[in-house]
Amino acid sequence: MSKQEWAKGLEIQGIEPPLSLHQYKLIAFDMDSTLVTSECVDEIADVVGKKAEVAAITEAAMQGVITDYKESLRQRVALLKGVTLAQLEQVYNERVQLTPGAESLVQACQKAGLKTVLVSGGFTFFTDRIRAKLQLDFSRSNLLEAKDGVLTGRMTDQSWGDICDGDEKRRAVLDLASLMGIDPQQVIAVGDGSNDIPMMQAVGLSVAFHAKPRVKAVAKVAINEGGLDRLLEVVKL
């Protein structure tokens, strides 16, 4: 498929806009650098003076240089040992901001009747709060282990598995769609990193938001400038 510029800062391939939001039933969002402007794990690391070390691993994982996402996340979480839950609260309050256009896009999708899901390689501490803030229907992410209010440097297994990586994001989105009787072609997936590619390739409309080159290459819509609500220029209410 050849990419073409639909509007300034918007690229499309394999579709003919404008599309209608009403032809979709479910939209799946990544969190870090997608629904929110920061990478939460990097910001937590900054609290303990390890941001550069953790951010380097994050960037390599998002670029696809580190192909074992689970191992890269375990390495980063190990560096967070000793961070307190109070410090996590501080990170959320001071450093986690919704991406411009996030609320507008989510509200437009809800108005059109779409179910909303947040699937993140990040942590429940943050996804639970973002889910509540945006009134999203579902979420799946990783659970940091804490003892006596302090992170242990490990994650806790959950009923569905150990770590929400790219394969788990894809599985979660497709399972949710199946349970609700939604065809994968009626699903939109929005992300920015390599671990978003599996879910993006499994659904009807893939959206890359200020994304890494290999993510933009597989996306039907690439938002390179502006906020998340620019999707509404391509997929209208």
Q: Which residues are catalytic?
A: 30, 32
The neighbouring-strand residues paired with 155 are: 144
Which tokens go with 14? 């394999």
Question: Can you give the three-state secondary structure of 61-111, one letter per residue?
Answer: HHHCCCCCHHHHHHHHHHCCCCCEHHHHHHHHHHHCCECCCHHHHHHHHHH
Using alpha carbons, select from 81, 122, 99 the residue that is nearest to residue 33: 99
Specify the DSSP element, H or E, that contains 20.
Answer: strand 19-20
d(CA 8, CA 20): 20
Q: What is the largest CA-CA distance in the chain?
A: 54
Kindly state the DSSP code that residue 84 receives in the 8-state scheme: B
d(CA 47, CA 51): 8
HSE of 187, CA atoms in CB hemisphere, 13 A: 24
The neighbouring-strand residues paired with 115 are: 26
Amino acid at residue number 24: Y
Question: Can you give the three-state secondary structure of 169-188, one letter per residue?
Answer: HHHHHHHHHHHCCCCHHHEE
